[in-house]
Structure 1
């Protein structure tokens, strides 16, 4: 087995979206709508305007791991004076390929992308399974994160 890494292309979206839905299911999301059209629309638009980047892990032609980062801009603040942040998502590795360092490699690649693109910070809402990966990498928990569902 030889694992290689490359960036997501639009022709990869069918498999990428399936893996994103697998990730959401594994995290316990409630499926009350068909999310595929909205995901396709999002990824196509943001890949085109370069505000979403994803690195993939491949075993030959098989996609086995995904990462994703949306580049967003907020008003500048002291911790991020340019206001440009990377929002991580879609961090997923097929179960039979876990514990091989694939997620750590993918995380490193998207964090490098954030640096290249001038982001001042990278953020993620981590699943219980992912917390150790992110803290080992150097992410710091922010216990003040809150969300209001509309």
Structure 2
């Protein structure tokens, strides 16, 4: 049985390792790719003190619990609009499940956990950047493409 729960400060080492694995896979880096110290410190700082929730999927079937999935919801407060009167929004990041655990409903369970929490916090919109692998799940759960936004990288 896979347990889904919020990550805590005590999980930081395993969580950092899991996020690095996620980023290596998503970005197409090899297993030995080293992230910059700045990236690692900023990631750790966000996990420990940022306005977000990270959930982890834990497999303890071997007797040694290991993180086999993670997902993070980052909260933002923006100026309210007519369709988002609270101004509370969120962005979903780094939904990842280890290859051998995929197609077992783990990602969906992590997303449902985060969506429930977002609703409790009054969030009116969750955005995400989908990979091709994740797109079917997101669409099945009600996300849709939006052509309203433009982005400028600085």
SS of the residue corresponding to residue 133 of structure 2 reads: coil
Distance 1:122 1:15 in 2: 26
* Counterpart position of 1:82: 86
Equivalent residues, number: 145
- Let me know the Cα RMSD of the aligned residues: 1.7
SS of the residue corresponding to residue 86 of structure 2 reads: coil
Match of 1:68 among 55, 69, 72: 72
1:147 Cα offset (Å)? 2.0
Distance 1:96 1:29 in 2: 18
Compute the TM-score of the two structures, normalised by the length of structure 1. Answer: 0.89
1:85 Cα offset (Å)? 0.6
* Counterpart position of 2:59: 59
1:21 aligns with 2:20: yes
* Counterpart position of 1:36: 40
1:74 Cα offset (Å)? 0.7
After TM superposition, the structure 1 = structure 2 runs for residues 1-150 of structure 1, keeping only pairs within 5 Å, are 2-28=1-27, 33-34=36-37, 35-46=39-50, 51-60=51-60, 61-150=65-154
1:110 Cα offset (Å)? 0.2
1:146 Cα offset (Å)? 2.7
Larger Rg: 2
Q: Which runs of 5+ in 1 are unaligned?
A: none
1:29 Cα offset (Å)? 6.2
* 22-31 vs 139-148, which moves further: 22-31
Compute the TM-score of the two structures, normalised by the length of structure 2. Answer: 0.86
Q: Which runs of 5+ in 2 are unaligned?
A: none
Distance 1:131 1:22 in 2: 20
What stretches of structure 1 move > 4 A for 4+ residues in a row? 29-32
The answer as to whether partners of 2:47 and 2:54 remain within 8 angstroms in 1 is no
Question: How far does the alpha carbon of each residue in 1:30-71 deviate from its partner, in whole angstroms, 9 at most, with x for none?
Answer: 77734211101121112xxxx211221111111111111111
The answer as to whether partners of 2:73 and 2:90 remain within 8 angstroms in 1 is yes
